[in-house]
Amino acid sequence: MRLNESRITQLLQSLLRAEPKFSEDSLRNHLRTYGKDIREALSGGIHKFLLQGDLGAGKSSFVSAFLGAVGYPKYLGSPTYPFAITYRDDTVSSNWDCVHMDLYRLKSRDEFIERGLSDLIESTKTHVFIEWPERMQEFDVEINLKDPNVTWIRLHFKEPGRVELTQLF
């Protein structure tokens, strides 16, 4: 556990203790329980969520449940082919934008830059969910893992319909 652990990481740790293995529906229900606290924690600054896991491990399901918990009315799906999906909803907060990106299919650092993903990651105005963060090194992107506004989440597929959150740091 990090010395400068953020409130959002503490909330997700509570979720992990409550139910480490989850279905998408149970995750959505647990996150709704923390929805107001999560919104308040995120209002203090921009947060980056690094989501690591094999194909089908539940990374996009986690983002869908998380966005639903904080009040986004509609999840637009996995960003596998568009690479990034931006969420803007004035009903959540006037300054609460979110980007969900997937680095899995990117072919080069040039493509990463051309698609504007570097700008999105470095934004000071947008919360970011990054699937396949281990690929950032290939694109010369560094994120300070000691930053309390960065949470690395590992997900593991356990059985059909169930995923396990194994580590948050």
CA-based torsion, 51, 56, 57, 61: positive or negative: positive
Q: Token pair 């560094």 is at which residue?
A: 142
Q: How many domains are contained in the chain?
A: 1
Encoded tokens for 138: 């290939």
Q: Which residue has the higher pLDDT, 122 or 90?
A: 122
Of 43-52, 57-66, 67-76, 154-163, least confident by mean pLDDT is: 154-163
User: Which pTM was predicted?
Assistant: 0.82
Encoded tokens for 104: 């899995």
25 in a domain, yes or no? yes
Distance CA 152, CA 129 (A): 10
Give the structural domain span for 118: 7-168
2-12 tens-digit pLDDT: 434 677 777 77
Q: What is the CATH number of the domain that holds 65?
A: 3.40.50.300
50 in a domain, yes or no? yes
2 in a domain, yes or no? no
